[in-house]
Structure 1
Amino acid sequence: MDVQEENCKIGELSTPDQRVHFMALNIQNELGEVRQFTKLERHNDTCLNGGFFVIQSLHYKCLCDSGFSGIRCEKDIDECSTQTHDCNQHATCTNTVGSYQCSCNANYKGDGKRCRPNFCSTNVGLCQHNGTCLDTSTAYNCSCKVWYSESHCEKDIDECSTQTHDCNQHATCTNTVGSYQCSCNANYTGDGKRCRPNFCSTNVGLCKNNGTCLDTSTAYNCSCNIWYSGNHCEQDIDECSTQTHDCNQHATCTNTVGSYQCSCNANYTGDGKRCRPNFCSTNVGLCQHNGTCLDTSTAYNCSCKVWYSGGHCEKALEHVIMTTERNWANARKYCKSIGGDLATWGMRNATIRTWIVDNMIRTRPPAYYWIGLDDLDQEGVWKYIDGVPVTKDNTDFYPGEPNDVGYADCGHLNHVQDYAMDDHRCSYLQLAICERRLNQSR
């Protein structure tokens, strides 16, 4: 049996340009039907609709193209009813022989597999009252004019009841189709959106006693002659009790018939309408201990000498801060120049030292402060400059100090060590604590 030609073998798929030849061969299909083939071409009546003919173990079958099924590929597959198509959700699937077609539904456009909304172009007037139609990703929206609402701009908005109008507060709003009208109320004039008071023209004699009627932004006022007051100039005016005078806040108002008088209070000078402080001139010795009195815009301040403080320089101080950085020797010279010296007994007293640190030093930016403590006379022998030797009870050296690093022979309060005592090189520029004795028993 010759079953081979042009490299086409039994059981293999023949290509369009190859043919299979048989010599009086009986072959059975999948249904058990037996056919005799003497010569077979793959596009003859065996496999329909472009199906491929295959022989396996003296049986034949058809391999169908996409869109067909059946023993001989004789059945068309309906992709639409079997939902095996890829048409867009907004498209209609139409079955064809061996395939299908997709076409976008009404109000959508595209190739059927991609459909985008097209409501606005295909539905003229979809949005009423000149609303603007906007296609969205799935349908459409209507952008309505300011006077209309609802999905198709079909509803007239009552701007009056919804308070979306711009009528003046002194006007009446009347709704119209697609808009509204504004009209000014009685005693007001204008176009309804701008209404200004018109009380004076329409109400002759509104202000009594020759008072002048003045329309304001919201109603009216009566400008009265100097002898009268009240809403309609019906009362004599007391500018002092009604606080309608212009006396200075530091002056006293005295009412007169039809007017008032202003006079500056004690410690102030001026015409009563303008009063400036005059505490310093009228109060000799207001600032104690030779403090300088300075009048301010509202009262006065005392500028105190270096050893005094308080509102009137009444408080004498025993410790002050030198605010200019100097080396240890120059810091001591400064303290002596103001009648004191670098701090000694205040440093030996733990209570006083703590008060100085908490109330005079911690209130300032972190810094180092010279005190009256050194070992300049004899290296390693520390004493206060008033001659008192250092002991563990009168000196709060930081643990491990003094260590004489870098010729450190002068004492200071070290902010890095929480203002404990420390030794430092005397040439460094630092602030200082100056001290004097008010109580010689210290």
Structure 2
Amino acid sequence: MNTQGSYRCYCDPGYYLMTDGSTCTKEPECSSARCQFGCQIDRWGEVRCLCATGLHLAADNRTCEDVDECRGASDVCPPRRTCKNTFGSFLCVCREGFVLGTLQDSVQCRDKDECLDSTHLCSRHSQCFNTSGSYTCQCLEDYSGDGHTCWPRRASQSKTSMYLQYKLSKRTRPIQQPRRPQL
């Protein structure tokens, strides 16, 4: 192309101008590499497939695989949240025993009160106590057990005497006398 006092070179489609400003060479094409998401042509004309952030180039050098940002990274998410991998990224979700809500004028994971919302597994003969991220169960005064299962206590017996009675009942069995032949 003629310019005032000089000229400038342009290349036909499918070719690109070399750094000398006057030589045209065939432009390498990304389509020949069959890249999954796109490619980059380096200054020597070599085609290299590219992957988006959160993905890495697979062994076939054409397709992209997900990077698991949660693997081995314990401090990716703030306290009370756990990392959940997604394709090309990750999410921080509330840990078990916590729910998303407003706490001190900001949205964060707060303790879920299983006792208040009746999602606990305590016996109906026990009392539920909320703890941070969980709960505990304790049998009522007239009941024994682990809080999840409670059974009535006998009013006149202590735990010790109930235990001893149980052990004795397993040991002692009626002795059967051998029958004597009748004459």
Q: TM-score range by the shorter chain?
A: 0.3 to 0.5
TM, length-normalised to structure 1: 0.23
Greater length-normalized contact order (CA 8 Å, ≥ 6 residues apart): 2
The structure having more radius of gyration, on CA atoms, is 1
TM, length-normalised to structure 2: 0.46
